[in-house]
Each structure stands twice: as structure tokens, then as C-alpha cells.
A and B are shown apart, each in its own frame.
Chain A
Amino acid sequence: MGSAGNGLAIEADNLVKTFKGGILALDGVSFRAERGSVFGLLGPNGAGKTTAVRILTTILQPDRGTAQVLGHDVARDPAGVRGLIGLAAQFAAVDENLTGRENLRMVGQLNHLPRARSTARAGELLEQFDLADAANRPVKTYSGGMRRRLDLAAALVDRPPVLFLDEPTTGLDPFSRVSLWAVIEKLVDDGTTVLLTTQYLEEADRLADRLVVVDRGRVIAEGTAAQLKSELGAGVLHLEMTSGEEAEKGVAALGERLRRPASRLGSVVELSLDEGVGDVLDALRILDAAGLAPFSLSTREPSLDDAFLALTGHSMTEEAT
């Protein structure tokens, strides 16, 4: 039974996948997700998140490496894996010509639930996802947010013990995002293991118990969100200068005197802090010596964005090329 007995829901070991044209989407990705937890795959566009999800959900075969879901090997026992998982893919995969209810019933039947149970479950989920009023309308008439909710409902039809959510909140308005977070938290309370991919640091931070940061097909960091942040030190210092030009000079002066690089965002100079207040005093002395005076100053906790920048040397929003 492999990892079925050891508390692991998902185990990926050295997954490699190359697409036609020589695109190396996964370059040896490994991670483990505990049962009953939320596991995050965090990374920018093109990092390989969707490819990893497709391999774990048996849609795609890896070139190398192995993966297990609740002890079932995705390559040797794909049917077993499919019986245990639910998938809400990156783009809502619902049938436009069917109604919401018909979509959910179809998924129930394809999960081999008895007809009556598929129908009952469809009704329940439509209610739960606030789609009851639109239940008998073709999906063609649904808004983007409604489609996403229906897609997630379809993933939950068979109450899967392991749920894969590929960028579940991308494109949702802030209100829908927060309510989706609540849905996910409720599922985890009920014992579901969730693997979610996201480009939003805030989301990984809020939901994931553990996460891996993926960049260009490789895992570049692993741990809890708090651990990743703490690797960055005490926080970030913001110095608001009077102009972009002043800020530029500030960055140059700080860069010369400190070992850590400072960066500029408009007229704001940002500097990561290793040792807290002492660093702040150092920075101010350096600026003063260069004849520069910030007109405001603040510090903040480091975000995962900062962690990403520190780990990869490029920001998250920058496309991997």
C-alpha cells in the first residue's frame, strides 16, 4: 500500500516532464503532502504547476519519476487514483450545453454513483454553491464566477478524499475569493486533503499548511509560509524619498555600504532587514552621509513575494522564460 499507511496523501518523487519542442516543464520535482492538510504549489506562470497537477491526476504520464495518491501509483494504478480524487482544473471544464444540474449529474454517473445519488448530490451542491436559481439553465448563460463554482462543485460530487485545485481563485473577484477560501477551509476541517496551486502569495500564506515554491520546473524552496518568510530576516524597511531620482541615489548609496541590495519602487527605497532596528539606524546614517533625507519611514513583515525574489532573483509576476 506504500504511503497509504504512513499518513501521506500525495507523494511526488523526482517528476520529470518534457513537452514536444523540448520544453522542460518539470525538472525533477518532489514533494509530500500529509493527509488532511492543505498543500500549496506556489509559482509564477509557466513554473510547471499545472503539469504537476495533471500528472498527479493521471491525465498525463511523467517521463521519469513516480507519484502516489493515498498509496496508489499514478502510472500503475490510475483507475485507483481516479476513484480518490477530485479536480478543479485551471480553466473551468464544464459542458456549456448542459445545465448546471445536468453537468453535476453526469459527473456523478461517471463516478459510478447510483443515478438517484447523483441527482441528490447535484441538488445539494447547487444549493451549497449558490447556483440553485440557475440550476436548470444551460451553462452557456453562466457568468465566469458561476462557471468556476460549478466546476468546483463538479470536483466535489464524489466527496473525494484528495482534492486538486489548480489556481482556484484566479480571475475571481475579492468577495468570491474569500468565500472560496471558506469552502476550502471547511473541506479540510472535514478531513479532505487539498493540493492547491496559486500565484497569489496571500493565498498560499492564508491556506497552505506547507508549500513548495516552484520555478522553471524545479522546487526552489519548501516549508511553511512562516519558515519561508523567516529565512528573509526581520522584515522590510520602506523609505519614502522626495522623488524617484533621490530614491535612485539612495539605492546606490546603500548598495555601496551594505552587503544587501536595496531596491527602488517609484520614489520608495526598500531594504530587507537582517537584524531589525540596528539596520534601520545604519541605513539612515548612510543616507544622511549622502545628503539624502527620507520624508517617511515604515517597516513591514516580509511577504512571500519577498521570499520569492530572494530565492530566484526575479519577481513572481515576471514571466519565466
Chain B
Amino acid sequence: MTAGTATLSERERRAAVTPLRAVVDTLVIAERDLIALVRIPSTLFFSSVQPIMFVLLFRYVFGGAISVAIPGGYVNYLIPGIFVQAVVFGAVQTSIGLAEDLQKGLVERFRSLPMARSAVLAGRTVADLCRNVFVVLLITGVGYAVGFRVETSFGYYLGAVALLLAFAYAFSWAFAVIGLSAPNSETAQVMSFPVLFPLTFASSAFVPVQSMPGWLQGFATYQPVSQVVWAVRGLMVGGVSDVAGHTWASIAWTAGIVLVFGPLAVHRYRTRT
């Protein structure tokens, strides 16, 4: 009875991976990753409480000492920076999650199932995208509570959010590579921070780049996080020169990161023994 319940040809039909099945498999994996996100207290903290703490810290503790010329003052300068910082920090969860799946043998199980091979990575990055939508809504709400206002228009706000989410999605692939290269989840976490800290703090997210020492300004000006922050800030509140230039630079960085790290992550996933 066991072997006979489904005929062999029916099994063959079900085992064939069609594009539609690849999408469904991706969503099944994304659902599981999102469940984990909600159930693990530390990841929930990471994606919700931490951005709020950064808002409060910079708005009320450091903010008074930082002067910027922007419509609405420092809070309008800060919140776009927080948006980018939060989604970039969130990508660490990608590397930790993948490293854990490898370590716990789940990837082995997935590889033995007739599912689309792409679904494990695609599902993980889709789950990240959902988390980032939540993070953006949360920070918008918290931002409004502490005095942040969109000074342009709702359309520009949505454009900025789209840019932000696309950039974050690209970043997930870069951190997937870290997760797939680490021997375990602790190492994945440790490997992630040396990448994250310079990118988020040596950037235009919290303070004007002009206030940094000369040797740091070059890096801080051209690195991707700064470009995205300027674009998002310009689109949401204005007061940034050459918003179009920063927007194109952000799009170029986003595409470049996906094109380099996407195939690299897939390769790592396939060849990891």
C-alpha cells in the first residue's frame, strides 16, 4: 500500500519542477522563514526594537549636537538614515538563518526533496523583503511620533520606499554569501558585523559626511549606503542636492550587488558539501 498509493507516473509528474512550482516552493520556504522570525525573540528584537532604539538615541541623545540644513531639522535628516540602517542591519538575519539551516541539516533535507533548488535562497530573500516592509512601516510610524514629516509628496515617499526595499533585497543576497560561507551561525554573525559597521556608520545616515576626517570622506561619499540614504532623504524630505544622481547611483549599486552576489550565492549553495 505504501508504495502503491501514488503511481510512479503520478510521482514523476509531481517531481517535475515547473516555473509555477518554483514560485510556490519559494513561498513555502518564505512562510517558514517568517514564522521563525516571529518566534525567535532575538530576531524579533533585532528587526523591531533595535531601530526604535536608534531613533530615540539619535533623536534625543546625539541629535542636539548635530546641525544640518534640511527642511524640518535633524529628525527629517535622521529618519531616512534609520530606514537604510535598519534594513541593512536586518540582512544579518539572512546570513545567520542560512548558516543555521546548513548547520542543522535542513538544507540536506531540502536537497533531497523534489522542490525547486532555487527556493531555499529565493524564499529566504522574499521573507527578508516582507520583514523589511514591516520595518519600513514601523519606522515611518515611530518617525511620525517623534516629529518626522514627509515634506515632498506621498508619491515620492513610495518611490523612496521602493528604492530602499530593492537595495535591501540586493543586500540579502550579499549576506546570503556570508551565511553560506560560514561554518556555523555564530561565525556568520561575527563575519557580518565588520561589513555592516563601516557601511552604516561611515555613511551619510546619521551625520553629514563633511564632518568626517578627510581620509574617511572619500569612502563615506561613494559607498552604497550613503548613496541610498541621500536618495531616500532627498525623495522624502528634500534638501539634498542632485537627488536624481543619488537615485541612479543607488539603482546602479542595487543592480551591481545582485549581479555579483546573486550568482555567487547560488554557486555557494550548489557546491557546498
Where the two chains meet, the residues of A that have a C-beta atom closer than 8 Å to any C-beta of B are: 19-20, 54, 57-60, 70, 79-80, 82-85, 87, 89, 91-98, 102, 106-107, 109-113, 138, 154, 158-159, 161, 187, 190-193
Contact = CB atoms under 8 A, between A and B. Distances in A.
A83 B106 contact: no
A154 B109 contact: yes
Residue among A89, A92, A95 with max Cβ neighbours from chain B (10 Å): A95
Given A87-B112, A159-B3, A98 B105 contact: no
Residue among A19, A58, A59 with max Cβ neighbours from chain B (10 Å): A59
Contact of A59 (B8, B111, B115): B111
B103 to A, nearest CB: 10
A59 B2 contact: no
Nearest first, the 3 closest Cβ-Cβ pairs linking A and B are A83-B15, A93-B105, A161-B3
A97 B93 CA distance: 15
B22 to A, nearest CB: 11
Interface stretch (B33-41, B201-209, B234-242, B249-257): B33-41
B273 A107 contact: no
Given A111-B113, A158-B6, A192-B2, A97 B14 contact: no
Given A82-B15, A106-B32, A58 B2 contact: no
A154 B105 CA distance: 13
Interface string B1-25: 1111110100110111100010011
B108 interface: yes
A82 B35 contact: no
The B interface is mostly helix, strand or loop, or mixed, namely helix
Nearest to A57: B112
Given A112-B21, A112-B114, A191-B3, A80 B105 contact: no
A159 B6 contact: yes
A191 B35 CA distance: 37
A57 B2 CA distance: 19
Contacts of A113: 14
A97 B96 CA distance: 14
B109 A89 contact: yes
Contacts of A93: 104-106, 108-109
Contacts of B12: 80, 83
Contacts of B35: 97-98, 102
A187 B36 contact: no
A104 to B, nearest CB: 12
Contacts of A138: 39
Given A82-B15, A97-B40, A110 B113 contact: yes
A109 B112 CA distance: 14
B240 to A, nearest CB: 41
B114 A19 contact: no
Contacts of B14: 83, 111-113
28 contacts: A58-B112, A59-B108, A60-B273, A82-B15, A82-B115, A83-B14, A84-B15, A91-B104, A93-B105, A93-B109, A95-B104, A95-B106, A96-B104, A97-B32, A98-B32, A98-B35, A106-B28, A106-B32, A107-B109, A107-B113, A109-B28, A110-B113, A110-B114, A111-B114, A112-B114, A158-B6, A161-B3, A191-B4
